[in-house]
C-alpha cells in the first residue's frame, strides 16, 4: 500500500514551495513585456519539486546526499547541468551527474530521448521520463509532458509502489494524471 503523507498545511506549503522554486529558477525576459519562461528550466523545477516531496525506502534512503543522474538527451538535464548551484532538500544535497558510467548509485534517474538508453544497471528508486522512449516511459514513476504550452507530470502509482517510495499527497494532487492497475491503490483518478 502506498503511504501518503496527509497534512493539510503541508499541502499548502508544498504548493507554495513548488511555485517558489519555479519562480526562483525562471524569470521574465523583460520587465515591461509579457514574461517568457525557459521550458527546460521549468522542467528542471518540476523535477526538483518531485524530489522534494518524495520519501525514500529505508534500504535506499539518501544519507546526506541524493544522487540525481541523467541518461539520454533531455531539456531538464541540460537545464540542471547549466545551473550554477543545485538546490538542496533541507540538509540533503542533490548531487547531479549527467551520463554517468555507473547508474547503480543513483537514487533518481532522468531518462531522456535516446534509443540507446540502457537502464539495466540502474537501482534507482525513482525513474523520471523526460522525452524518453515508449519502453522507458512505461516503466517510469513520473513522466514529464508538454500539453498546451504547459509542462505537466503524470505519476504511475504502480511503479511508485514497486519502488517502495512514498509520495506526498500534495505532489499527487498536483499531477495532471495518476494511474494504477491495482484497485487497492488510491490516487488522482479516484
Residue appearing with cell numbers 505537466: 152
Domain 8-179 classification at class level:
alpha beta
User: What does the alpha-carbon distance between residue 174 and residue 164 come to, in Å, rounded to a whole number?
Assistant: 20
Q: 3-class DSSP state for residue 144?
A: strand
* The three cell numbers locating residue 91: 540538509
Residue boundaries of the structural domains of the chain: 8-179
In this structure, the number of other CB atoms found within 10 A of the CB of residue 148 comes to: 5
pTM over cut 0.75: yes
Residue appearing with cell numbers 499527487: 172
Q: Give the pLDDT confidence of 51-103 residue by residue, as tens digits.
A: 999 998 888 888 899 999 998 888 899 899 999 999 899 889 999 988 766 78
* The three cell numbers locating residue 190: 479516484
Amino acid at each position: 500500500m502506498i503511504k501518503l503523507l496527509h497534512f493539510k498545511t503541508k499541502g499548502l506549503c508544498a504548493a507554495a514551495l513548488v511555485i517558489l522554486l519555479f519562480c526562483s529558477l525562471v524569470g521574465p525576459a523583460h520587465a515591461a513585456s509579457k514574461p517568457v519562461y525557459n521550458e527546460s528550466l521549468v522542467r528542471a523545477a518540476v523535477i526538483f519539486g518531485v524530489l522534494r516531496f518524495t520519501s525514500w525506502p529505508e534500504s535506499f534512503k539518501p544519507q546526506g546526499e541524493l544522487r540525481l543522474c541523467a541518461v539520454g538527451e533531455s531539456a531538464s538535464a541540460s537545464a540542471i547541468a547549466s545551473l550554477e548551484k543545485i538546490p538542496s532538500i533541507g540538509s540533503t544535497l542533490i548531487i547531479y551527474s549527467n551520463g554517468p558510467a555507473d547508474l547503480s548509485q543513483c537514487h533518481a534517474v532522468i531518462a531522456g530521448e535516446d534509443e540507446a538508453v540502457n537502464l539495466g544497471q540502474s537501482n534507482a528508486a525513482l525513474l523520471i521520463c523526460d522525452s524518453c522512449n515508449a519502453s522507458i516511459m512505461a516503466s517510469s514513476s513520473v513522466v514529464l509532458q508538454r500539453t498546451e504550452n504547459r509542462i505537466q507530470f503524470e505519476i504511475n502509482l504502480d511503479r511508485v509502489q514497486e519502488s517502495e517510495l512514498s509520495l506526498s499527497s500534495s505532489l499527487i494532487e498536483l499531477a495532471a494524471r495518476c494511474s494504477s492497475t491495482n484497485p487497492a491503490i488510491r490516487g488522482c483518478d479516484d
